Amino acid sequence: MESYDPHSLEAEAQQFWADSCAFEVDEDPARDSYYCLCMFPYPSGKLHIGHVRNYTIGDVISRFKRMCGLNVLQPMGWDAFGMPAENAAIQNNVPPAAWTYQNIDYMRGQLKRLGFGYDWKRELATCKPEYYRWEQWLFTRLMEKGIAYKKTAPVNWCPVDQTVLANEQVIEGRCWRCDTEVERREIAQWFLKITDYADELLAELDHVDWPEQVKTMQRNWIGRSEGLEVEFEVPGHDSLLIYTTRPDTLYGATFMAIAAEHPLALEAAEKNPEIAKFVDACRKTNTSEAALEKMEKLGCPLGIDAINPVNNESIPIWIANFVLMGYGTGAIMSVPAHDQRDWEFARKYGIEIRQVVEPADGSAIDLDAGSFVTKDGRSCNSGDLDGLEFDAAFNRISDQIEALGKGSRQVNYRLRDWGVSRQRYWGAPIPVIHCEACGMLPVPEADLPVVLPEDVEFEGIGSPIKKMDSFIQTTCPRCGGAAERETDTFDTFMESSWYQERFACADQHQAMLDERADYWTPVDLYIGGIEHAILHLLYARFYHKLMRDEGLIKSDEPFQRLLTQGMVLKDGSKMSKSKGNTIDPQELIDRYGADTVRLFIMFASPPEQTLDWSDAGAEGAYRFLKRFWTAVREHIDAGLERAEIDADALDEAQKAMRLKLHETIRKVSDDFSRRLTFNTAIAANMELLNSLARFDDRSPTGAAIRQEVFDNMVLMLAPIIPHVCHRLWRDLGHDSVLIDHPWPEFDAQALVQDRIELVIQVNGKLRGKIEVDADADRERCEAAALANEQAQRFIGDNPVKKVIVVPGKLVNIVV
C-alpha cells in the first residue's frame, strides 16, 4: 500500500493550483463576491507561528466560502516599512530596502509552501513607490482640505544619540541603546484630523459585525464626553482655559495644574531657578500614557493664582508632571474631594480638600480616606447649586458660566488627532516642500511620487536622508526658488490603513483606486490579531472615510466582519524578537508537511482564544493524517463492490454509521459558517473516523457507506488539509476539481432517530439514564423517570415536590 508522503503530494497539489491559476480571481458582477483578508505581515525575516495561525484561519475560511459557491478573493502583501529594517541596517550594515526584499522573498516561499490560496498577481509591498505615491497624493489633497495640519507635539528624545525614540525603545525611562535618561521634547509634526470624524467613527460601530469587545474598546478610546470649557482669569497673564466633565464640582476646585511646557510655567522658570529645575525634571519622562499614569505625581507651586469664575476665589496654580501640553489645553482644574488623582496630589502638598458633592441620602463621607467620586450625589457647599442632582447642577452652572461669557458647553473626545510624522528613514517621505518665501507647500501631483532613496548607508543611528542634500535640495513649486524637502516620513500605520482597497486594483497606475474597489470592498471578513483592536483598526476606518470623501470609494466602512485572532504566546508572554521567544514553524513544516502544521494549529484552540504555544501535540495531528490516509487507501485497495444505499433497508449498525456521518456534516457546517470553531470541526471528524474504524461491514452496502463517509470527510477537511484531500479526492474516483466542489449537505432523513436517551436527575444530580421513544410526551418521560430503579433509590421515602422535564434532554426530580 502506498504510504502517506506529505512532501511529494503537497508539491503536486501546489503545482496543480499554480498551473491552473486556481486562486486568481476577477470581478464577476453575476456572482456574489467574498473578500477574505488577513492582516498582512511585516517582513521581519521568517514567518512566526502567529502568522501561520492567522493565515491558516483565513485560508480555511476562503476555501470553505469558495466551496459554498462564492467568488472568493484572498490576497497577500507586505507591510514593508518599519523600524526593524533600520535596526538591522545599523547592526549588519545592510540597506533597509535590501534586507526587506530579501525577507519578503523568503517569507513568500514559506507562505507558498503552506499551500495558502492567494491571488499572487495582486501582491503588493508598501515600500514600493508605486504603492506609497498614492498615499502621498492623498496627503497633498488632505493638506488642501485642512485635514492635514502641522503643530508641535511631544516625542521621546535621547540627548546622547541625538535622536527621537519610539516608546518601545525607552526601557524604564532610558534609551535602549545607550541607557541615557530620556527627555521629552516638543517638535513640529504633521497631524490628520481624525477628531473631525470622531462622531462618525463612533456611530458606525453600530453597523459593523465586529466582536463586541473590540467595539467597546474603540468606543472607550474615542471617549466622547459632554462638559464645559471654562476660562480662569490669571491677573497679569493670559487666562487659563480648561475643560471639565464635572462642572458641578467647580466650587470644589482648590488648585489648577498646568503642564511643564505651558507658557506660564516657562515664563516663571525664567525668573525662578526652583521652578526651572522642576520644569527640567518634568521633561525627563517617557511620553507613553502608561508611564505618565503610573509615575509618581509631582508638582511645584507656580506662585501665581487663578480666579475661579464661580466665586471669584483665588486658587493656586501648580505645575504638575502628569499634565501634558500636547493633549487638551495643557491645563486642568483640580477638585481633590471628588477626583482620586487630585486627592492624592492635594494630600501630598497640603492643598485644601473641599467637599462639594454629598451622598444622595445626605450621609457623611470620609475625605481622609479618599476622594468621593460619583454622579449619583447632590451638590453642597456650592452656592445656589446646593441640593441639586448632577444633571441639574451641570445645567445650572453651565448656564451661569455661559451667561458670564466665561466658557461654553463642549463635546470633547479622548481621541487625539493622528500624528503621522516620524523622524525615521524607512518610511514613505512626507510630500511637503519648505520654501523660505512661500512656506510649506504640498508636492504637486505631477512630481509625485517623492521617492525614498533606497541605496543608503547608515552612519550612526539617525535617518540618512536627513543629511542627504541630493534628497533635500529642491525647488519651490510656487516661486521656483531654492527650497527643501520635508525629511520626516509617514507613520507606517498610514500604509496599512488602505491596502485592503488597493488589493482590489493593485495594477492600477493612473489612480489610487478604481471601480473594482467597489466590487470587492468592504472586506467581508478581516482576520488579524486582537492587539490591533484599537490603533490599526481605527486608523483604517478613518482612512476609508477620507478616501470616500475624496470620491474614491462608495462604502462607509472598510471591514464588514472582523475576526480577532487571539495572541500566540510562548511561555505566557507575547512573542517578540527582543524577548527571543519567537517560534519558527519551518522545522515543523520540514518534518511533517504543510497539512500537519495547518491541522495542528487549527486543532489547538478556537481562533479567538489566546494560545500559549507548545508543539508537543504536532505528532498527534500527523498521526491523524496517517490514519485517515491509511483508512482511505485500505478502502480503495480492497475494491469491494458497492451497492446503492437504500435508506429503508439498512441494519442498525449501518443506520448508526450514517447517523454519525450526517450529524458530523451538520455540526461541521455550523462550525465553519457560524461559529468559526475549527478545533471542534476537526474533533468531530476524528470521532467520525473512530466510528468508522469500528464499522467492519464488508457487504456492498457497507462499502457504499464507507465510500460516502470518505467522500464527505474529504470535502469537510479540504479547507484545512487541502493537499492530502486533493489527492484522496481523485483516488476516491472523482474527476472534479476538489476546491470547486460544492460543500456537502447533510441528509435530514439519516438524522431521524426512533429512540433517544434521557438523563435522570434527583435534586439536580445525575442519577441515571433511560431510553424512551423519540416522540414520548412529558407524562411518559416523567413516569419512566420515576419508575427508574436508580432514581427510586435516591428518592427513598422523601416526598416528590416537583418534576422538571426538559423534552429530549432530561428529567429532574426534586424531593
Residues 211-230 within binding reach of RNA (CB under 7 A): 212-214, 216-217, 220-221
- Residues from 771 through 790 that contact RNA (CB under 7 A): 790
Answer for which of 11, 365, 686, 737 binds RNA (CB under 7 A) is 686
The 3 state secondary structure assigned to 456-519 is CCCCCCCCHHHHCHHHHEEECCCCCCEEEECCCEECCCCHHHCHHHHHHHCCCCCCCCCCHHHH
Beta-strand relationship, 255-258 and 299-308: unpaired
Q: How far apart are the first and last CA of the chain?
A: 62
Q: Give the span between the Cα atoms of 277 and 725, in whole angstroms.
A: 72
Distances (CA, A) of 399 to 242, 406, 413: 17, 10, 22
Read off the C-alpha cell for 172.
524604564
Q: How many H helices and E strands in the chain?
A: 25, 32
- Residues from 518 through 537 that contact RNA (CB under 7 A): 530-536
* Residue number, 359 or 481, with CB nearest to RNA: 359
Answer for which of 1, 92, 271, 290 binds RNA (CB under 7 A) is 290
Instruction: Write down the least CB distance from residue 233 to RNA, Å.
Output: 29
* Residue number, 379 or 423, with CB nearest to RNA: 423
* Residue number, 518 or 531, with CB nearest to RNA: 531
- Pair 738, 725: CB distance under 8 Å: yes
Interface with RNA by CB under 7 A: which range of 5-13, 395-403, 508-516, 755-763?
755-763
Instruction: Write down the least CB distance from residue 220 to RNA, Å.
Output: 4
Q: 10 Å Cβ neighbour count for 312? A: 8
Following DSSP, what letter does each residue of 338-355 receive, concatenated?
A: G-HHHHHHHHHHT-----
Binding mask 475-514 for RNA (x = CB under 7 A): ----------------xxx--x------------------
- Pair 710, 704: CB distance under 8 Å: no
Instruction: Write down the least CB distance from residue 757 to RNA, Å.
Output: 6
Interface with RNA by CB under 7 A: which range of 315-323, 436-444, 648-656, 687-695?
687-695
Instruction: Write down the least CB distance from residue 289 to RNA, Å.
Output: 3
Q: Give the span between the Cα atoms of 103 and 48, in whole angstroms.
A: 13
* Residue number, 15 or 609, with CB nearest to RNA: 609
Instruction: Write down the least CB distance from residue 256 to RNA, Å.
Output: 21
- Residues from 291 through 320 that contact RNA (CB under 7 A): 293-294
Instruction: Write down the least CB distance from residue 278 to RNA, Å.
Output: 22
Q: Which of these, 491, 515, 554, 506, lies nearest to 190 by C-alpha position?
A: 491
* Residue number, 735 or 754, with CB nearest to RNA: 754
Instruction: Write down the least CB distance from residue 86 to RNA, Å.
Output: 9
Instruction: Write down the least CB distance from residue 363 to RNA, Å.
Output: 19
Q: Give the span between the Cα atoms of 4 and 631, in whole angstroms.
A: 11
* Residue number, 106 or 221, with CB nearest to RNA: 221
Read off the C-alpha cell for 164.
527621537
* Residue number, 388 or 665, with CB nearest to RNA: 665
Answer for which of 400, 677, 707, 712 binds RNA (CB under 7 A) is 677
* Residue number, 14 or 492, with CB nearest to RNA: 492
Q: Give the span between the Cα atoms of 209 and 203, in whole angstroms.
A: 13
Instruction: Write down the least CB distance from residue 27 to RNA, Å.
Output: 29
The alpha carbon dihedral of 693, 699, 703, 709 has a sign of negative
* Residue number, 140 or 189, with CB nearest to RNA: 189
* Residue number, 77 or 252, with CB nearest to RNA: 77
Question: Which class for 180: exposed (0-12), middle (13-18), buried (19 or more C-beta within 10 A)?
Answer: middle
Answer for which of 683, 751, 783, 786 binds RNA (CB under 7 A) is 683
Spatial neighbors of 746 by CB under 8 A, at least 6 apart, are 662, 663, 665, 666, 669
- Residues from 702 through 731 that contact RNA (CB under 7 A): none
Q: Which residue has the cell 498551473?
A: 19
- Residues from 69 through 98 that contact RNA (CB under 7 A): 79, 81-84
Binding residues for RNA, rule CB under 7 A, total 102
Read off the C-alpha cell for 207.
453597523
Instruction: Write down the least CB distance from residue 276 to RNA, Å.
Output: 26
- Residues from 785 through 814 that contact RNA (CB under 7 A): 790, 802, 804, 806, 809-810, 812, 814
Binding mask 115-154 for RNA (x = CB under 7 A): ----------------------------------------
* Residue number, 142 or 385, with CB nearest to RNA: 142
* Residue number, 33 or 677, with CB nearest to RNA: 677
Q: Which of these, 555, 512, 550, 432, lies nearest to 135 by C-alpha position?
A: 512
Residue 1 binds to RNA (criterion: CB under 7 A): no
Answer for which of 8, 311, 763, 798 binds RNA (CB under 7 A) is 763
Q: Which residue has the cell 487507501?
A: 633
- Residues from 552 through 581 that contact RNA (CB under 7 A): 567, 569, 572-574, 576
Say which DSSP state 673 is in.
I
* Residue number, 242 or 315, with CB nearest to RNA: 242
* Residue number, 238 or 745, with CB nearest to RNA: 745
Instruction: Write down the least CB distance from residue 142 to RNA, Å.
Output: 17
* Residue number, 82 or 336, with CB nearest to RNA: 82
For 532-567, give one letter per residue: b (16+ CB within 10 A) or e.
bbeebbbbbbbbbbbbeeeebbebebbbbbbbbbbb
Answer for which of 267, 687, 747, 782 binds RNA (CB under 7 A) is 687
* Residue number, 165 or 517, with CB nearest to RNA: 165
Read off the C-alpha cell for 42.
511585516
Q: Which residue has the cell 470527510?
A: 713
Answer for which of 245, 272, 410, 679 binds RNA (CB under 7 A) is 679
- Residues from 575 through 634 that contact RNA (CB under 7 A): 576, 603-606, 609-612, 614, 616-617, 619-621, 623-624, 626-627
Answer for which of 769, 771, 773, 777 binds RNA (CB under 7 A) is 769
- Residues from 157 through 216 that contact RNA (CB under 7 A): 164-169, 187, 189, 212-214, 216
Instruction: Write down the least CB distance from residue 410 to RNA, Å.
Output: 16
Beta-strand relationship, 148-158 and 163-165: antiparallel
- Residues from 409 through 468 that contact RNA (CB under 7 A): 414-416, 418-419, 421-424
* Residue number, 196 or 233, with CB nearest to RNA: 196
Run of H or E residues at 186:
strand 183-192
Q: Which of these, 322, 325, 371, lies nearest to 351 by C-alpha position?
A: 371
Q: Give the span between the Cα atoms of 114 and 813, in whole angstroms.
A: 55
- Residues from 343 through 382 that contact RNA (CB under 7 A): none
* Residue number, 284 or 623, with CB nearest to RNA: 623
Instruction: Write down the least CB distance from residue 79 to RNA, Å.
Output: 4
Distances (CA, A) of 294 to 131, 297, 378, 643: 41, 8, 31, 74
Beta-strand relationship, 611-612 and 331-334: unpaired
Q: Give the span between the Cα atoms of 31 and 315, in whole angstroms.
A: 70
Instruction: Write down the least CB distance from residue 184 to RNA, Å.
Output: 11
Instruction: Write down the least CB distance from residue 104 to RNA, Å.
Output: 13
For 351-390, give one letter per residue: b (16+ CB within 10 A) or e.
bebbbbbbeeeeeebebeeebbeeeebbbbebeebeebeb
